[in-house]
Amino acid sequence: MGKLDGKVAFITGVARGQGRSHAIRLAREGADIIGIDICADIDTNPYPLATQAELDETVKLVEAEDRRLLATVADVRDFAAVKAALDAGVAELGRLDIVSANAGISPMALGEIDDAEDVRQWTDVLHVNLFGPFFTAKAAIPHLIAGGRGGSIIFTSSTAGLRGFAGADGGGAGYTAAKHGVIGLVHTMANALAPHSIRVNAVAPTAVRTMMATNDAIAQWITEDPSRGAHMANPLPVDMVEPEDISAAVAFLASDEARYVIGSTLPVDAGFVNKV
């Protein structure tokens, strides 16, 4: 018997990385999943994003837990597409209880780029990492309220949402600004939705062993300035945490064990925030 038996979760960025891990963990706890992913690249982002094949594999992994994943290709920057995918999923599965606004990108300026490229990085990362979570919550809130059972919205922020990080270029500054903004969404939505017993919280990971943190571009970005690597080091003797570590926090915040946890940001960061 799982902590989430009979519940339905909506997860963005579900095809791989943290999103896939969250889907498997929540399914293991008894939840069915509605999931979306862009399954296409964004040209200002220097590493490849998820593919249709990866999304299909996530469906199989959730089904291996004897649960369902209704997967749709949709871009979190497109509110109408997010809403349509979620509405269709709720119509089929009959309810919505949990939201994991997980999708994100991390473009970092590499070497000399022109002003136009810098502005495009800023725009794209804000649209994915801040507009996307807002659109996700906006699409979900009517379903959560209509269900009359309360619910849990879990935003993915970052240690970069709690500390200054990544420099002044459009990609790095945009990432940090977006992740700070996500915590602002947590605070305001938690107050607004508490009367409906809808709890709003965030997780704030340090670097997680996914494509976002292990691609060639981020390695080059650190090589260009070795102080960046020192700044990103964790006090605990681990270079990165695993997606499953973040999924454990998401599963907790989604469950009744966290029924009185609201408006909080939970660092899963190997001590990163505490060191500075």
Residue 214 phi, psi (nearest 5): -120, 10
- Take residue 16 and report the two structure tokens written for it: 């791989």
Complete domains list, the chain, with CATH: 8-275 (3.40.50.720)
What is the 8-class DSSP label of residue 129?
I
**DSSP secondary structure string, 39-67?**
-S--TTSSS----HHHHHHHHHHHHTTT-
The answer to whether the predicted template modeling score (pTM) of the entire model surpasses 0.75 is yes
Q: Is the dihedral of CA 78, 34, 65, 148 positive or negative?
A: positive
Numbers of helices and strands, H then E, in the chain: 10, 7
Tell me the average pLDDT across 108-134.
85
Q: Is the pLDDT of residue 74 over 70?
A: yes
Q: What is the pLDDT of residue 131?
A: 98
Q: What is the pLDDT of residue 229?
A: 61
- Take residue 127 and report the two structure tokens written for it: 């649209």
Query: Choosing from 10, 135, 165, 175, which is the catalytic residue?
Result: 175
Tell me the average pLDDT across 140-154.
98
The 10s digit of each residue's pLDDT in 87-120 is 999 999 999 999 999 999 998 755 556 788 888 9
How much is the mean pLDDT over the chain?
A: 93
How many Cβ atoms from other residues are within 10 Å of residue 112's Cβ? 6
For the chain, percent of residues with pLDDT exceeding 90: 82
Task: Say which residues have a Cβ less than 8 Å from residue 225's Cβ, sequence separation at least 6.
Answer: none
Q: Specify whether 260 is catalytic.
A: no
Q: Is the pLDDT of residue 231 over 70?
A: no
Q: What is the pLDDT of residue 114?
A: 73
What confidence category does residue 221 fall into, taking pLDDT thresholds of 50, 70 and 90?
A: low
Q: What is the pLDDT of residue 194?
A: 98
Q: Is the pLDDT of residue 225 over 80?
A: no
